[in-house]
Amino acid sequence: MDKIVEISGLSKAYTQGHEQILVLEELDFSISKGEFVSIVGPSGSGKSTFLNIIGLLDDTYSGGIKLFGKRLEDLDEAEKAVLRLKNIGFVFQFDSLLPEFTVLENIEMPARVLGEVQNVKGLDLLRRFDLEAIAGKFPMEISGGEKQRVAMLRALRNGPALLIADEPTGNLDRHNSAAVLDDLRRAADGGTAVLMVTHNEEAARRADRLLRMGGGRLSEEKK
Ligand SMILES: Nc1ncnc2c1ncn2[C@@H]1O[C@H](COP(=O)(O)OP(=O)(O)OP(=O)(O)O)[C@@H](O)[C@H]1O
Ligand SMILES: [Mg+2]
């Protein structure tokens, strides 16, 4: 199987005053193409810390990380920026759509950054996820659930190999959560590796693999 992320011996500590607080300790992890993996764990156990490291938002750690077969220590900042833009999509609990742009324009934003706006691609995504009816609406004209789904399509716009979602359903009711989980499954079925953190056990069980974060480590739950 194609490995999208391979991690061995990952440790991460935060400095607080004169103290070092170890959040991740010698942790191993991998995710393959098309796999949907969820992580659950108590608040403060290091889930977001872990996602931020994989998503190249934090490079203060020790251990080995390979993304898409490349060792991160071999890449310079510019190479990492391109990797982040083209190969990694990020979705957070609270959406961050730009209010003065339409749904379609928001989805096209990551392509705009690369100088590659093609509305037809954004529209195609909207159609695939049954959201074409809201393409021309502004964020204030759509529901919270729709906003979250649009943020997800925006994360998928550049066809990332890896989609990282930090509590994507944290803010949603059951119905909208189900729609977001369907979207994540659809993305995984399309070949994207999907890594989701959630507090919702039921949501977590929709993934192919369920991991628990605790004591600085990840352990796999047998399904
Ligand atoms: N920038 C920081 N500086 C110092 N400590 C931090 C920092 N960010 C997080 N921490 C600490 O690291 C630990 C892990 O935080 P993290 O945000 O990864 O937890 P989490 O599992 O995502 O929690 P939640 O479920 O509440 O989102 C917590 O004890 C937190 O207080
Ligand atoms: Mg968190």
**What's the pTM?**
0.93
Determine which residue's CA is closest to atom 17 belonging to ligand 1.
48
Q: What is the pLDDT of residues 111-141, one digit of tens each?
A: 998 888 899 999 999 999 899 999 999 999 9
pLDDT exceeds 90 at position 142: yes
> Quick check: 148 and 176 in contact, CB under 8 A?
yes
CA 182 to mean position of chain CA atoms: 15
Q: What is the pLDDT of residue 1?
A: 61
Topology, domain 3-221: Rossmann fold (3.40.50)
| Ligand 1, atom 29, residue with closest C-alpha | 44
53/127 Cα distance (integer angstroms): 32
| Six-digit token string for 127 | 């159609």
- Taking the C-alpha atoms of residue 158 and residue 9, their distance in angstroms, rounded to an integer, is 30
Cα(166) to centroid(ligand 2), Å:
7
Q: Give percent above pLDDT 90 in the chain.
A: 86
Read off the pLDDT of residues 32-50 as tens digits, 9 standing for 90 and up: 999 999 999 999 999 999 9
The ligand 1 site (C-beta within 6 Å) comprises: 14, 16, 23, 41, 43-49
> 58-110 pLDDT, tens per residue?
999 999 999 999 999 999 999 999 999 899 999 988 878 999 999 999 999 99
Which of these, 88, 51, 69, 56, lies nearest to 2 by C-alpha position?
69
Closest CA to 128 of 89, 148, 157: 157
Domain boundaries along the sequence of the chain: 3-221
- The pLDDT assigned to 171 comes to 81
What is the rounded distance in angstroms from the CA atom of residue 105 to the CA atom of residue 138? 9
Sheet holding 3-16, edge to edge: 19-32, 3-16, 62-67, 70-71
> Which residues have a beta carbon within 5 Å of ligand 2, which is an ion?
48
With a cut of 90, say whether residue 172 has pLDDT above it.
Answer: no
- CA-based nearest residue to 96, from 168, 161, 26, 41: 168
* DSSP code string of 21-71: EEEEEEEEEEEETT-EEEEE--TTSSHHHHHHHHTTS----EEEEEETTEE
